[in-house]
Chain A
Amino acid sequence: MIRLRARSVAALTLASVFGLAAFCWPLIISPASGLAHGADAPWVFALMLPLILAVVLAEISEGGLDAKAVAMLGVLSACGAAVRPLGAGTAGIETVFFLLILGGRVFGPGFGFVLGATTLFTSALLTGGVGPWLPYQMLAAAWFGLGAGLLPRRVRGWQEPVMLAGYGALASLLYGLLMNLSFWPFGTGAGSSSLSYVAGDPILDNLVRLLGFMLATSMGWDAGRALTTGILILVTSAVILRVLRRAAHRARFTR
């Protein structure tokens, strides 16, 4: 539905490289770097990421967001934002990803990327949850919408829900890992506990600490999120895919 031009693909790739660095910097930063000292680094990244997101979203929308795509994005973001509070507060039940993944599957990778960003943004505005975590969440959700759009198109029939559920569970686990990576330097400042990142340590040592941080804080949530996303997709995907494809057909959306 949203055509990705070569230019948009290039911008998307560069922005993703930058975004990946914004997530993984505690693992790769060298002790000689000016950012390695003091507590400024997490805030610097939290300020840079919104601009990168703005640039790449503007680039994609210039490539072709027509009225149908805007309306569909708005309505699906609203659905995602409306079902998100259903799971909040209950450990590990995450209800936003399955819609995101099914939307990306039906309407393609470009739409999935923008849908991931707008869903999380709408939800944050509705619940008053705008903070330094929002750009990270938007980028990670956008990646997973994009990935859902890139899954092989030939897989249909009973294999499709299984593939999507597997992708959803994997993506949810990765989302949890990325969120932990972004929260790690905020949650335990450098040197404040034995699970904090150490700038310039071998990646493996920092990874062990990150794993410890994950086990200590959010493993239950992440596993629950992967499980609920997978089950929700298995149960609802047949019906929702049909409804979404009908809408896409009625609007004669071109891919």
Chain B
Amino acid sequence: MPDRLHPAAWWVWALALGTAASRTTNPWLLLLAVAVAGYVVAARRSDEPWAGSYLVFLKFGLAAVGFRLVMHALLGGVEGETVLFSLPEVPLPGWAKGIRLGGPVTAEGVVASLYDGMRLAALLACLGAANALANPKRLLRSMPAALYEVSVAVTVGLTVAPQLVASVKRVWRARELRGDTKRRARTVLVPVLTDALDRSLALAAAMDSRGYGRRGPGSKLAGGLVLAGLLGACFGLYGLLDGTGPAAAGAVVLVLGFGLATAGLVVGGRRVGRTTYRPDRWRAPEFLTVASGLVPAVVMAVFPDGLSPAFAPLALPALPVLPAAGLLVALLPGFVAPAPSRGTK
């Protein structure tokens, strides 16, 4: 039994949960979504360095709520009747049409921007959960084959970055041995960079000698598909943004373009013949995780009652039962995902 879930499964689960959270402004549901993501992270995170991301993203989310509230207080927006307090209003020149600086701050407006900020914060919490749970190095291995070279470059980058710290220490140590104890950043730059570049040449030689870079000829079909797909995407987007034509036409052309481009990626990926050492596989826990993330998103799409509580007149919003139950289903990975082996190193 592997001790980790496929990283893509974590991402799909988190993005689906985030989609569910983005469909509502009900504060109870949003708090519930944050709590669900937090519980799963607490239950299934490893002790790798990225496992602390959830808290960082949660703090970002709180900052986003604060940002929304300050922006609302300073600049106005949603109007209401219950005036909490008034800020002195600064008159702006005529060309700043519609921008208001200062003025009355209403309870309705504060509540509206609080809900909106909480929605952003819940979404950030879901992204933080994905960052904390999914192993980025394993995720790079599941990149489409057409991106093989680029993902190898990123893998090299991920491996080399920590070595740079060691390189800096080595240079300082050599300096100290020569009696130069001043730690100046300027004098470290060139040796460390030269060291890193030399290492890259050695790495390239090693990759060449092990047969890296052997691949089939580029495919004309892939290029044609990619170009046609991109062209379709551009036209479709134009149609979608313009909105003068039939509403569905732009979306259809856009989806068609993306389909062609994806087909181009798949065809282009065939030229890279490679095998993976100990590949991550999709088993039952992966399917359960993805399904449990999709449940709240689907429930919220089907039962939209109570998802967007009114803020005028002011009232405490009710907790809609079905969407809340759907969100609780997303707790499932906290139980079915394989527990990471902690502290056994």
Which residues of chain A have a CB within 8 Å of any CB of chain B?
Answer: 7, 10-11, 14-15, 17-18, 21, 25, 28-36, 39, 43, 48, 51-52, 54-59, 61-63, 65-75, 77-79, 81-82, 114, 117-119, 121-122, 125-132, 186-189, 191-196, 198, 205, 208-209, 212, 216, 236, 239-240, 243-244, 246-247, 250-251
The residue on B at minimum CB distance from A129 is B131
Closest to B272 in A: A62
Q: Are B77 and A191 in contact (CB under 8 A)?
A: yes
Within 8 A of A (CB), among B184-204: 189-190, 193-194, 196-201, 203-204
Give CA–CA (A196, B77) in the complex, Å: 9
Whether the pair B201, A77 counts as a contact (CB closer than 8 A) is no
Closest to A131 in B: B127
Chain A-chain B contacts (Cβ-Cβ < 8 Å), number: 277
B218 interfacial contact with A, CB 8 Å: yes
A31–B96 alpha-carbon span in the complex (Å):
21
The distance from the CB of B6 to the nearest CB of chain A, in whole angstroms, is 16
Given A67-B207, A75-B200, A194-B75; A55-B261 close (CB under 8 Å): yes
B264 at the interface (CB under 8 A from A): yes
Complex contact B258–A240 (CB within 8 A):
no
Tell me the bound Cα distance from A70 to B198 in angstroms: 14
- Residues from chain A with a CB closer than 8 A to the CB of B49 are 128
Chain B residues near A (Cβ < 8 Å): 19, 22, 49-50, 52-53, 56-57, 64, 67-68, 71-72, 74-78, 95-100, 112-113, 116, 120, 124, 127-128, 130-132, 136, 140, 144, 146-150, 152-161, 163-165, 189-190, 193-194, 196-201, 203-205, 207-208, 212-213, 218, 222-223, 226-227, 229-231, 233-234, 237-238, 240-244, 247, 251, 258, 261-262, 264-265, 268-269, 271
Q: Would you call A82 and B165 a contact (CB within 8 A)?
A: yes
Q: Are A51 and B258 in contact (CB under 8 A)?
A: yes
Task: Give the shortest distance, in Å, between B75 (CB) and chain A (any CB).
Answer: 5
- Taking CB as reference atom, which chain B residue is nearest A43? B22
Determine which of B116, B152, B264 lies in contact with A74 in the assembled complex, contact meaning CB atoms within 8 Å: B152
What residues of chain B lie closer than 8 Å to A192, measured between beta carbons?
A: 68, 72, 77-78, 112-113, 116
Contacts of A240 in B (CB 8 A): 189, 193
State whether B157 touches A122 (Cβ < 8 A). yes
14 more CB-based (< 8 A) A-B contacts, given A56-B230, A205-B98: A11-B230, A14-B231, A14-B234, A21-B234, A32-B244, A34-B247, A58-B144, A59-B268, A62-B146, A122-B158, A128-B131, A130-B127, A130-B131, A240-B193
Would you give the shortest CB distance from A177 to chain B, in whole angstroms?
A: 18
**Which residues on A sit within 8 Å (CB–CB) of B76?**
193-194
Please name all residues of chain A whose beta carbon is closer than 8 Å to the beta carbon of B205 when the two chains form the complex: 67
Q: Across the two chains, which residue of chain B brings its CB closest to A202?
A: B97
B53 & A128 in contact (Cβ 8 Å cutoff): yes
Query: For residue B67, which residues in chain A have a CB less than 8 angstroms away from its CB?
Result: 187
Q: How far is the CA of A43 from the CA of B204 in the complex (A)?
A: 39
Give the residue name and chain of the B residue nearest to A29 (CB). B241
* Least CB separation from A191: chain B residue: B77
Q: Specify which chain A residues have a CB less than 8 angstroms from the CB of B72 in the assembled complex.
A: 192-193
User: CB distance A73 to B156 under 8 Å?
Assistant: yes
A141 CB, nearest partner CB in chain B, Å: 14
- Establish whether residues A118 and B71, one from each chain, have CB atoms under 8 Å apart when the complex forms: no
